[in-house]
C-alpha cells in the first residue's frame, strides 16, 4: 500500500515570495507522482506529474517539483507566487497509473 504525507497543513506566504510545499511518500514499489490544485468551490486540477525521466518536472502556472527517490519526496515549488495561487494543494501517488492515494492537502494563502 502507498501513503502520502504532506508536511505542512497551512502555508501563509506574501505575494511575489517563493513557496515550497513538502510531500513525502511511502511505497514498496515504484510509483508515479502528482500534484493537484483545488481552488475554492472547484474540483481538482492537475498541476504536474512525474512518470519517469528527468527528476525536475515543470507544470502549469510556473510550478515545478523535484522527485527525490532516495528521500522519497516530491516537493512542489514556485519562485514567485500571486494572489491567485491561494488554493489547496494535494500530492498524490499511484503504483499503477490510476488508483490515486492523496495526501491531506496544504492550504496556501497568499497575502499582499
Contact footprint for another protein (CB under 8 A): 4, 32, 34, 36, 41-46, 49, 51, 90, 92, 94, 96-105
Measured CA to CA, the distance from residue 91 to residue 5 in angstroms comes to 8
Question: Could you tell me if 19 and 81 are in contact, meaning their C-beta atoms sit under 8 angstroms apart?
Answer: yes
DSSP, collapsed to helix, strand or coil, labels residue 108 as: strand
Is the CB of residue 54 less than 8 Å from the CB of residue 84? no
* Residue 104: CB minimum distance to another protein, A: 5
CB of 46 to another protein, least distance (A): 7
Judged by CB, which is closer to another protein: 13, or 102? 102
What does the block give as the cell for 68? 527525490
Smallest separation (angstroms) from another protein to the CB of 48: 11
Tell me whether residue 54 or residue 98 sits nearer to another protein (CB atom): 98
CB nearer another protein, residue 92 or residue 108: 92
What's the rounded Cα separation, in Å, for the pair 8 and 32?
A: 21
Q: Select 97 or 112, whichever has its Cβ closest to another protein.
A: 97
Amino acid at each position: 500500500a502507498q501513503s502520502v504525507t504532506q508536511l505542512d497543513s497551512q502555508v501563509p506566504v506574501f505575494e511575489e515570495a517563493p513557496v515550497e510545499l513538502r510531500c513525502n511518500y511511502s511505497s514498496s514499489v515504484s510509483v508515479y507522482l502528482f500534484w493537484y490544485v483545488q481552488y475554492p468551490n472547484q474540483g481538482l486540477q492537475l498541476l504536474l506529474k512525474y512518470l519517469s525521466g528527468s527528476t525536475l518536472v515543470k507544470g502549469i502556472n510556473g510550478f515545478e517539483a523535484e522527485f527525490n527517490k532516495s528521500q522519497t519526496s516530491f516537493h512542489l515549488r514556485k519562485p514567485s507566487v500571486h494572489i491567485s495561487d491561494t488554493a489547496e494543494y494535494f500530492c498524490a501517488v499511484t503504483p499503477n497509473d490510476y488508483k490515486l492515494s492523496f495526501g491531506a492537502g496544504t492550504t496556501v494563502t497568499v497575502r499582499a
